[in-house]
Structure 1
Amino acid sequence: MKATVDDFWLMIWQQRPKAVVMVTNVIEDRKQKCEQYWPDDTSTELRYGDITVSIVSAEEWAEYVVRVLNIEKNGEKRRVRQYHYTAWPDHGVPDSMSPFISFYKKIKTETYRIDGALLVHCSAGVGRTGTFIAMSNLLEQTEIHQQVDFFECVKKMRANRPSMVQTVEQYVFLHCVINEFLATAKYPCAPSDIQTKLANHGEANNTYANMATAEIDDEFFVGLHNYVINLSLKNSFLYCFIEFQ
């Protein structure tokens, strides 16, 4: 891991991401999961190849940290924000959705005017990273299309990078966090209204009505889709699968 840090910073310099989102800890269960690629304090500078990195500030919250970093190469200086979520176990999900949603909203609020993509990483780059990217993609779907398709989103991600959204628990968490996010957003829908909306819109807009007959090629989904179809029969999950008006 240490040998890749120079290339990591060079990639950031070349690609100019709007921010770095880190969803792992450096040490987890007494094992190193990630190389620390930033200084410990404002009095220290670290050099990675031709790039010098220093820390301007660190804003600490209960379950995440926001760092502002200075990076310099050949006399040119830039600033990069790093959003570090510290309460997401490997192969698992955050214990509480509220701080995680707060974390995501902070990223969106502080970076929406900045050009570029978010750079997201964890330890292996598939489970937690894939879940965060899928969540961001699905929330954008709700803004643009007023509907979401969890199955197709994750299937497309896995076609490009195997094992994205690594576990059943992470896949179910996606539904829970989107459901919670929309419950406090601009698309209010009481559980009593769900069956009426489904009847009005028909099965074409119900993701899991179509999943039951979908052709499933990925081994991960073979054991998963029946499990989530059963969950979708509960009102708390059906909330996410309708088209909003």
Structure 2
Amino acid sequence: MVSLPKYLKQSDRELENKFRFIQHQEDARIRDATMDPSNSKWTFGVSIDDSNRYRNRYVNIMPYEKNRVKLNVYNGNDYMNASYVKVNVSGQTMKPGFYIATQGPTERTWDQFWQMCYQNYSENDSNDSVVIVMVTPLVEYNREKCYQYWPRGGSSDSIRIAEKVQDPGEDDVSEFEHALKIEYANSRRYDDCYTLTTMRLVPVDESGEELGPAKTVHHFYFDQWRDMSKPEEVIPIMKLCQHSHSLNKAGNPIIVHCSAGVGRSGTFIALDHMLHDTEDFKIDAEQKMSSGGQMVGSPLHPDKGYDHDLIEQIVLQLRAQRLKMVQMSDQYKFIYHAAKYMYQHPPH
């Protein structure tokens, strides 16, 4: 008999009530930021400045000022629509989760995205790697959801990212220390669910000469998840979590984006942290074996001393760091469904 944590025994109605509570809390934060933007801890700061309007893919999704990612520029605008996200649930988290949640790059922001990728990892570590998880198709219903910002084929396929980024027709510029070059290495499709593309990201001068350590980029493109919806199946998204997490270096953020960087991105982050870094989903390495060599019972054991709802606590933390993380009630309920699936079909 599988022993489930209490929070995985709730009805859909109970989960929908909790989701409404989470939404009401966010509504209160938005009111506070709107009524007193100068003093509110929830202010959106420069993200709502008119000068940054083209840097936001959607007019209603902006980062909180308190934890926005600031581009390391030596001149000009440091804004991009991205948020540092940390997850640490008291009594459950074994290792704090560290992520960057961001919108899907646009034709006018893709170069800033790559500068952010390089800057948020150790500049002196030649063995460092960047993990990017993209959980959106490029196009849905003939509408762009994300710009094609990475090279996808050919051994010599590469893209140069200029050190000075200025939007045509706009009095807006970001100047960086170096230009960058992103080079395609290889790609592989996994289970017809996601594509892993390996690339090389390196600073270069005007002639193309390399100036510093290169970073290996692991780009996961999961194109089976439509906007404003939950994943169709549990197993593919679990495989994506496991694979991307396994390639991330301890202490580095995993960069996650969909189109707006909230609904699907938040759902992925909640699943990833829950499955890899919490007590209730820790695999029992000392599980007993039967005389026939089979494991006895489940390798997952809920912490009986934990009286809260782990998933609710994770999503509450996500929502306090970026708007609309886990945007839809179906996405919220899917996390519980996936968690229950893990208890009923645990890894051995």
| Alignment match of 2:339 (pick from 178, 194, 198) | 178
Q: What SS does structure 1 have at the residue aligned with 2:320?
A: helix
1:2 matched to 2:107? The reply is: yes
Distance in 1 (alpha carbons) for counterparts of 2:347 and 2:268: 21
Distance in 2 (alpha carbons) for counterparts of 1:173 and 1:56: 35
Aligned position for 1:123: 259
Structure 1 counterpart of 2:145, one-letter code: K
| Alignment match of 1:37 (pick from 138, 142, 149) | 149
Structure with a larger share of its residues in helix: 1
Please, what TM-score do these two structures have when normalized by structure 1? 0.70
Please, what TM-score do these two structures have when normalized by structure 2? 0.50
1:114 Cα deviation from its structure 2 partner: 5.0
Matches within 5 A, 1:197-236: none
Tell me how many residue pairs correspond in the alignment: 186
1:78 Cα deviation from its structure 2 partner: 2.0
Aligned position for 1:12: 117
| Alignment match of 2:181 (pick from 52, 58, 69) | 52
Aligned position for 2:272: 136
Structure 1 counterpart of 2:337, one-letter code: C
Distance in 1 (alpha carbons) for counterparts of 2:146 and 2:218: 18
1:109 Cα deviation from its structure 2 partner: 2.8
| Alignment match of 1:101 (pick from 226, 232, 238) | 238
Distance in 1 (alpha carbons) for counterparts of 2:319 and 2:254: 19
Q: Alignment RMSD, CA only?
A: 2.0
Deviations 1:119-166 (A, max 9, x none): 100100110001011112222223468466111211121122121100
1:54–1:29 distance in 2 versus 1, CA, 3 Å: same
Assess if the C-alpha contact under 8 Å between 2:228 and 2:327 holds in 1.
Answer: yes
Assess if the C-alpha contact under 8 Å between 2:152 and 2:197 holds in 1.
Answer: no
Q: Which runs of 5+ in 2 are unaligned?
A: 1-105, 122-128, 163-178, 205-209, 283-301
Q: Which runs of 5+ in 1 are unaligned?
A: 188-245
Assess if the C-alpha contact under 8 Å between 1:131 and 1:170 holds in 2.
Answer: yes
Assess if the C-alpha contact under 8 Å between 1:18 and 1:114 holds in 2.
Answer: no
Identity level (%): 27
1:158–1:100 distance in 2 versus 1, CA, 3 Å: same
Structure with more relative contact order (C-alpha pairs < 8 Å, separation 6 or more): 2
1:135–1:174 distance in 2 versus 1, CA, 3 Å: same
Assess if the C-alpha contact under 8 Å between 1:70 and 1:79 holds in 2.
Answer: yes
Q: What SS does structure 1 have at the residue aligned with 2:226?
A: coil
